[in-house]
Amino acid sequence: MKLLNDTDSLAQLCARLANEPYITIDTEFLRETTFWPQLCLVQVAGADEFALIDPLADGLDLTPLFELLAEKSVLKVFHAGRQDIEIFHYLTGSIPQNVFDTQIAAMVCGYGDQVGYDQIVRQTVGASIDKSHRFTDWSRRPLNDAQLAYAAADVTHLRDVYEHLADILAKKSRAGWVAEEMATLLDPQTYSVAPGEAWQRLKLRARKPIEFAALKAVARWREEVAQERDVPRRRILKDDAIYELAQQRPLSLDALGRLRAVPRGFEKQPYAGGLVEALQGVSALAIDELPKLPKSKRNPESAPAIAELLKVALKLVAEREGVAPRIIANSEDLETIAIHGDTDVKAMRGWRRDLFGEMALQIRSGEMALGVRGKRAVLVPMDAED
């Protein structure tokens, strides 16, 4: 077993795989010390072969691989592929075409919420994955045989996992459920890192419009610096420091250096001046130019109790249908339905509405209740007669 490290061999491999109905693919990467993920290894397999591609090899051009990912006639099978797709989106500016995620399919097929690769391999194929190399530094060379074998297993077993799940989906006529869930995974906006939206990663602790404006400005500044310097956000400034900066709004480097939440000597960093300028810009805003604080949600007193009832109902439906509860609705969906009723959340659209949404509305309106028959919880229409 060896790494593929030249462009001609990669082009020949991709030409062969382009004739396959599907391929399995995985990546190994590092991002502990960088903002953007560093691609260290690509594993890919067809029906009769697999390869380990070394993106760190001198002179290797990954274009043949990128062209294969863009080929619509070949299905690309990932497991928990969001980060893999993010990497390819970053490197190419586009999303791989015709993608299937076995983690999503496993949820639809009743294998639990966000099941791990080793678990789904064990449950569907009966094989065991050696997890001892999970935290390998994949940027170091050479990789030993055990590391390469571990990496290969991520795509060789995935072929059998895919076929097993695809068979279940076909028998239950649920392929469309997976396709609907894949829409978010394949939306370029999912991988957008627009600096102007960076504040949404933070807790909204601002109590005044000017504090909100400062929070947004500092978050944007941090995002821009982190991307430009290719370092994690926390290496530039931790979240707690952003909250203090939004409240204190220092307008000079000296004032910046006196804040407790910023590291000692932070004001001497070459990018610190840009932070002060951002806060000065906020200070210069007129009152009518300040952003409005998002409206706080006022929950009816009954909402928590309704949400708890919906959680039980969701569990019952999921067990009955043999799917993971989270694929139908998440906690935020349930809370929103409890507060607002028929609202635009995923649980109230498409097959989810038919499976659970209408029932949730009946529970909320008192038309359906939870009961116990024997030792089982059941949903009972209020006008039903025993």
Q: Give the chain's end-to-end CA distance (angstroms, integer).
A: 66
HSE, side-chain direction, 13 A CA sphere, residue 173: 1
Distances (CA, A) of 52 to 10, 15, 28, 57, 161: 10, 16, 10, 12, 20
- Coil/strand/helix, residue 351: helix
Q: Which pLDDT belongs to residue 1?
A: 74
Query: What is the per-residue DSSP string for 216-279?
Result: HHHHHHHHHHHHHHT--HHHH--HHHHHHHHHH---SHHHHHT-SSSPTTGGGSTTHHHHHHHH
DSSP letter, residue 386:
-
Partner residues linked to 371 by β-bridges: 378
Among the listed residues 102, 110, 153, 157, the one whose alpha carbon sits nearest the alpha carbon of residue 132: 153
The strand pair at 50-53 and 38-45 is best described as: antiparallel
Q: Any residues with CB less than 8 A from the CB of 346 and at least 6 apart, and which?
A: 329, 333, 352
- What is the H or E stretch that residue 44 is in? strand 38-45
Q: Any residues with CB less than 8 A from the CB of 314 and at least 6 apart, and which?
A: 325, 328, 329, 334, 356, 360
Q: Any residues with CB less than 8 A from the CB of 238 and at least 6 apart, and which?
A: 261
Partner residues linked to 151 by β-bridges: none
* Residue 82 CB neighbours (<10 A): 14
Please give the Cα distance from 320 to 92 (Å, whole number).
43
Tokens of 15: 């030409």
Q: What is the mean pLDDT of each run of 10 residues along the chain (386 residues)?
A: 94 98 97 94 97 97 98 98 96 96 96 93 91 87 94 97 97 93 91 91 90 97 97 96 96 96 94 97 96 76 88 93 93 93 92 94 89 78 62
Q: Which pLDDT belongs to residue 380?
A: 82
DSSP letter, residue 297:
P
Please give the Cα distance from 322 to 325 (Å, whole number).
9
CA dihedral sign of residues 90, 6, 140, 134: positive
Q: Give the amino acid at 11.
A: A
Please give the Cα distance from 101 to 186 (Å, whole number).
11
Per the CB < 8 A criterion, the answer to whether 61 and 113 are in contact is no
Q: List, for residues 21-68, the tens digit of each pLDDT value.
A: 999 999 999 999 999 999 999 999 999 999 999 999 999 999 999 999
Q: Which pLDDT belongs to residue 386?
A: 46
Q: What are phi and psi of 61, to 5 degrees?
A: -100, 120
Q: Any residues with CB less than 8 A from the CB of 277 and at least 6 apart, and which?
A: none
What strand order describes the sheet that includes 38-45? 3-4, 50-53, 38-45, 22-30, 75-78, 99-101
Please give the Cα distance from 86 to 169 (Å, whole number).
26
Q: How many whole angstroms from its chain centre is CA 193?
A: 13
